Amino acid sequence: MSDPAALADRIGAAFPSLAAAGRGTLERIARHSQLRRVPAGSVMFGEHQPCGGFPLVLSGALRIAQHYPNGREMQLYRLGPGDACVLSSSCLLGRMQYPASGTAETDLEIAVLPPPDFRALVADDPAFREYVFSLFGERLASLLGIVEAITYQKLDQRLAALLVRRARDDPTIQATHQALADELGSVREIVTRLLRHFEDRGYVELGRERIRVADAKALAELARPAS
């Protein structure tokens, strides 16, 4: 963006934590960042590639996933407006290559802070450094939640919880069975069987690459861990 002040305003609006750090931090980020517009389906970064910068999502959705030799993949997390990529910060600080890939789920607009400027901000700006380290804390808490779910919840409970979560804003979820399986770390055939079971019980209605949640209350009850 040719106007760093305007980009600073956009970053501050999307990232309240950075806005709280002060105008100086926002302007420094904006002055050194590159604004990128990426079409849906584009691979932002791939496994075993060097980290090209610290991305701040302004609009759209970015999916981070890890791929395995047998062709399966595990979704690690999604990023939306106001999210920053903790994996990128880890790779930049450790000077490592990416262990996972990032793909634009929708048209994406991001501000990318180049590696030297990211490291300089971490070293020189206490507010930015606190923000980056807070990302690690949030992602670790999320990771522990996933480990707990995998350890103590059956797949039907985890699928029910995922559907309830995805249907909060819109009861119709645009997703393939394969995408849901990837997010759960399972396989499509098992997820399809569970979804058909949910449909038989009136919990969902299945369509082509979409699932409409018909009984969110019943799914939430199924997802609740046994006491």
Residues 63, 103: Cα–Cα separation, whole Å: 5
pLDDT score at 147: 64
* Res 10 pLDDT > 50: yes
* Burial status of residue 194 (CB atoms within 10 A of its CB: 0-12, 13-18, 19 or more): buried
Residue length of the chain: 227
Please, what is the Cα angle at 138 between 150 and 187, to 5 degrees?
30
Domains of the chain: 4-150 (2.60.120.10), 153-223 (1.10.10.10)
Q: Which helix (H) or strand (E) holds 35?
A: strand 34-38
Whole-structure pTM value: 0.67
Alpha carbon distance, N-terminus to C-terminus of the chain:
53
CA atoms within 13 A on the CB side of 191: 21
**Range with the poorest average pLDDT among 25-34, 104-113, 129-138, 203-212:** 129-138
Backbone angles phi, psi at 120, to 5 degrees: -65, -40
Among positive and negative, which fits the CA dihedral 145, 146, 147, 151?
Answer: positive
pLDDT score at 68: 77
pLDDT score at 153: 64
Give the confidence band of 205 by pLDDT, cuts at 50, 70, 90. Answer: very high
Q: Which helix (H) or strand (E) holds 111?
A: strand 108-113
| Greater model confidence, 204 or 147 | 204
pLDDT score at 1: 45
* Res 150 pLDDT > 80: no
Q: Are 11 and 18 in contact (CB under 8 A)?
A: yes
Q: Which helix (H) or strand (E) holds 181?
A: helix 177-184
Residues 146, 76: Cα–Cα separation, whole Å: 10
pLDDT score at 70: 74
Backbone angles phi, psi at 48, to 5 degrees: 70, 20
Output the six-digit token pair for 214.
Answer: 């018909």
* Res 149 pLDDT > 60: no
* Res 152 pLDDT > 70: no
pLDDT score at 183: 83
Starting at the edge strand found earlier in the chain, the sheet holding 54-59 runs 34-38, 108-113, 54-59
Mean pLDDT of 80-99: 91
Quick: pLDDT tens for 36-59: 999 999 999 999 999 999 999 999
Average pLDDT of the chain is 88
| Greater model confidence, 7 or 71 | 7
